[in-house]
Chains A and B, each alone.
Chain A
Amino acid sequence: MSNVKNISDKVFERAPNREIITDADFAVIGTGPSGATAARVLTDAGHEVAMIEEGRWVKAEEFDGSSFTAQKKCYRELGTVAAMGKNMIPIIQGRCVGGGSVINAAIIWRMPEDVFDRWLSEFQTGEALSWKEMEAAFDVLESDLNVKPVSPEVLGRNNSLLLEGANKLGLDSRIIARNERGCQGLAQCTSGCPVGAKQSTDLTYVPWSIEKGARLYHSCRADRIQVEQGRAKSVIGRFEDPLTGEPRGKLTINARKGIVVCATPIQTPCLLRRSGIGKSSGHLGRHFLGHPGAGLICIYPDEVRLWEGATQGWDSEHYRKDWKVKFEALGMQPDLLTSRIPGIGAEFKKNVLEAGRMGNVGCAVVCQAEGRVRPLGKSAQISYGLGDDDVFNLRRGLKKIAEIMVAAGAEYIIPNIYGLPPKISKDQLKLIDQAPLDPRCYTLVLTHMFGTCRMGPDPAKSVVGLDFQVHDTKGVFILDSSIFPSNLGVNPQHTIMAVAHVGAKKIASL
């Protein structure tokens, strides 16, 4: 934010006289990867854009490496959002200017071509997106956001050991490409980069759009979209302190050309439902998809220091197609790490003595299970649970991760799986094969979400058409990953931004 000049007259966090009534060509709801990209493209095309963001604009200096500080400032509901099914799965969602890009690990993956082909053949999305357009968007994004592999100086031991282990086993893996400039290897990506190295959209596309004339209304919740004669007319918002909820006035944006919703696959269907939009197909809020995952900790003979180095600098999609799993290293600060160390009381403290030698990898599952999202007051009710195949894939993924860790020199594995001993030696990996196939035995977290307003040509089977417009209401466009008809199997930020880039270009020329 600090590198942008003269923007104070275009950024609002309250309504000075209780209400702001304004207009713009496009109102963009959400400033995460999709919303910020859409705002950037629409502004570049000469349109007048007003961005609305529910969270606050948090400056890099406000991050202190503590997870809870970040949760208070940048996470939705302080990180307590969860999907409920057979078990409870916490969902990590950003709620600040920059959205998820502020609290993710900046991992860049181009959309896998096999997934794109499936969209074409199974969901008939060809008219909306071509591979050529996607590739052109990837090129622009990678140049704008300085995407490059983690430099060796800041890679850190956890990542380098895993690369070594995977190589020994002959698995395809890589040093992760990330959107960053000047990373110092602080391993604090998930609690907000305190040096502004991560090229999140609060530091890039949002201020760049404002410099070109866009306005930003942050700490402002989009309550509903007003529709007149089948066409969206305005967005009604409410300024409030994102933490305390203290009211700060109302906002009405009359959108001359359209309203672009980029509020995530949880909030987008809730906003549409509250506004009476997108319900005609019966698919709104359904087909909730994700990549839930669980982690495995190991203990090496020498120091690893998970709190140093790139938060996520190594990953492998070797088993993405066959087993539907992806592995990624995850560094963490002591507050997060200790919460995953087993034991109570004296046993816990004894185990913490080994924290410096611990390594950590997550196994994300490309789940086949689908869930559902419905509004629940200001929140959402998310019903979701893993299927039997998903748990089976998770279990065999975790076993393979343990093998990689052992190949890298690990002596013990901390599986964090109920039914297994808290710590197993490198000779006992077969025990993981016997872990229960019950999702309640695993400590899961869900990060990537898709599908609740899926795109397709048939208004009876999809919510959004191939022009990115909601089938039953003109002037409402959706550009976030809720339109994705399937999950991706890789980290989605890059694909989300590319789809928003392609979609916004088409909307700009309508």
Chain B
Amino acid sequence: MKMRAFELEWTAKMMDTIIPAGVEEKFPQSASETGAEKILEEIVRYTPFITAFGLRATIWLIEIFGPLISAGRFRRFSRLDPGSREEVLNRMYKSKIYLIRQLVLLIKMTACFGWGASPEVRKALGASGEPRFVKRSSRS
């Protein structure tokens, strides 16, 4: 199953709400600046139909119904301003309803897989290169 371009744009906006650009000087990149949304695209492309369908449905549910179920607003997620988007996802993330929490958690996990693996973030954390304490063994 293949995601459409507009679905990828929605995904990027959701991921950038979870991991926005700026905020902390140490980590200026947003999720989409590290290509995190492409991870979701690949998962959708290569997993069995039922999983791929569920993931796409997650994107659609947040885009169409997220603002309504979390803040009672009749607007699509991607058309909200960044502050309102953060409010919507925050409310969903803390929702009393398990399934609603899971929708955001799923997007967050995927976003982190891309963002946390990026060389810039790893470098900022001091996680690039070899562990500092390791003595090189003769085996290479």
* Partner-B contacts on A (CB < 8 A): 65-68, 72, 77-78, 80, 87-88, 153-154, 156, 181-182, 184-187, 195, 197, 243-244, 305, 307-309, 333-339, 344-346, 348-350, 352-353, 355-356, 376-379, 418, 440, 443
Asked if B18 contacts A345 (CB within 8 A), the reply is yes
Answer whether A348 and B134 are a contact pair too, CB < 8 Å, given A67-B113, A72-B42. Answer: no
Asked if B134 contacts A68 (CB within 8 A), the reply is no
Question: Which of B3-11, B43-51, B57-65, B72-80 lines the interface with chain A?
Answer: B43-51
Please give the number of chain B residues whose Cβ is less than 8 angstroms from any Cβ of chain A in the complex: 49
Answer whether A353 and B24 are a contact pair too, CB < 8 Å, given A339-B108, A345-B86. Answer: yes
Asked if B19 contacts A348 (CB within 8 A), the reply is yes
Q: How far apart sit A240 and B88, CA to CA, in the bound complex (Å)?
A: 43
Asked if B115 contacts A308 (CB within 8 A), the reply is no
Residues of A within 8 Å of B93, CB to CB, are 344
**Do most interface residues of chain B lie in helix, strand or loop, or is the interface mixed?**
helix
Give chain A nearest CB distance to B94 CB in angstroms.
8
CB<8 Å pairs between A and B, sample of 17 = A67-B117, A77-B51, A184-B130, A184-B131, A195-B139, A305-B126, A308-B131, A309-B133, A337-B116, A344-B90, A344-B93, A345-B86, A345-B90, A349-B24, A349-B27, A353-B24, A376-B50
Give chain B nearest CB distance to A446 CB in angstroms.
16
Residues of A within 8 Å of B17, CB to CB, are 344-345
Which of A187, A305, A333, A378 is B117 in contact with, Cβ under 8 Å?
A333
Asked if A88 contacts B43 (CB within 8 A), the reply is no
Asked if B90 contacts A335 (CB within 8 A), the reply is no
Answer whether A185 and B131 are a contact pair too, CB < 8 Å, given A72-B42, A305-B126, A337-B116. Answer: yes
Asked if B134 contacts A185 (CB within 8 A), the reply is yes
Answer whether A333 and B23 are a contact pair too, CB < 8 Å, given A77-B47, A339-B109. Answer: no
Asked if A344 contacts B24 (CB within 8 A), the reply is no
Asked if A338 contacts B102 (CB within 8 A), the reply is no
The answer to whether B26 has its CB under 8 Å from any CB of chain A is yes
Answer whether A335 and B113 are a contact pair too, CB < 8 Å, given A72-B46, A153-B133, A356-B125. Answer: yes
Q: How far apart sit A309 and B134, CA to CA, in the bound complex (Å)?
A: 8
